[in-house]
A and B are shown apart, each in its own frame.
Chain A
Amino acid sequence: AQSVTQLDSQVPVFEEAPVELRCNYSSSVSVYLFWYVQYPNQGLQLLLKYLSGSTLVESINGFEAEFNKSQTSFHLRKPSVHISDTAEYFCAVSDGGYSTLTFGKGTMLLVSP
């Protein structure tokens, strides 16, 4: 069985500060890892994903995440956040096949001026 732990339920930061949202997973098989973002009153959008290859993956809006197999982590980082980054961020894991994505409980990123 898979599981995802997002240790922080809420992360408040000031605009232009760096941020890291933590994600740890457990799985007995090879995994695919995802970060989804949910803006207020909207659905979930894929932010970035690790499938294979380079362990560092980037999104188009400046976020990046690094797959660390030995630490079973997939932390999300951004060097300088904007007010518009305020949203709920979900880490998720899949082993492919017919199994579904298993989501963490989410981390609310609150960016203030």
Chain B
Amino acid sequence: DTAVSQTPKYLVTQMGNDKSIKCEQNLGHDTMYWYKQDSKKFLKIMFSYNNKELIINETVPNRFSPKSPDKAHLNLHINSLELGDSAVYFCASSQVGRGSNTGELFFGEGSRLTVL
């Protein structure tokens, strides 16, 4: 029933490891996003995909690689994790096409990544 679901909710790992976070939405939206929330609660867009096509790629290290197998899924893979990658990562979705875009986002519960 969850509209935007992310897994895992918590992730604790060592520096240098590679990890993935998965996201799925069942709202029928055509656009999905990854946001990073730092320790000061600041939310920053990382990536956006529209119908599986990358449309926004902010200044993010290329250790971060998003993948969208279909418009309902957007995964985030992170290579060679660093201490500064510790944050909460939020997946979100919206409907942009068909003249219905207002910018309203629907968020997942977040995935808290802790790098030791």
Contacts and interface: CB of A to CB of B under 8 A. Distances in A.
B56 interface: yes
B96 A97 contact: yes
Interface in A31-88: 32, 34, 36, 38, 42-46, 49, 51, 88
B90 A44 contact: yes
A5 B38 CA distance: 18
Interface in A83-113: 88, 90, 92-101, 103, 105-106, 108
Nearest to B55: A98
Most A C-beta atoms less than 10 A away, residue of B41, B42, B106: B41
Contact of A100 (B45, B106, B108, B109): B45
Interface stretch (B61-69, B78-86, B97-105): B97-105
Most B C-beta atoms less than 10 A away, residue of A34, A49, A100, A105: A100
B76 to A, nearest CB: 15
Contacts of A36: 107
Nearest to A100: B45
Most A C-beta atoms less than 10 A away, residue of B41, B96, B103, B104: B103
Interface string B38-79: 001111010010100001100000000000000000000000
Contact of A45 (B31, B96, B101, B107): B107
Contacts of B4: 43
Given A88-B41, A98-B96, A106-B42, A49 B102 contact: yes
B103 A34 contact: yes
B33 to A, nearest CB: 6
Given A34-B103, A51-B102, A100 B41 contact: no
Interface of B: 4, 31, 33, 40-43, 45, 48, 50, 55-56, 90, 96, 101-110
Task: Please list the 6 inter-chain residue pairs (A to B) with the smallest Cβ-Cβ separation, ordered nearest first.
Answer: A94-B103, A43-B109, A43-B107, A44-B107, A103-B43, A100-B45
Interface of A: 32, 34, 36, 38, 42-46, 49, 51, 88, 90, 92-101, 103, 105-106, 108
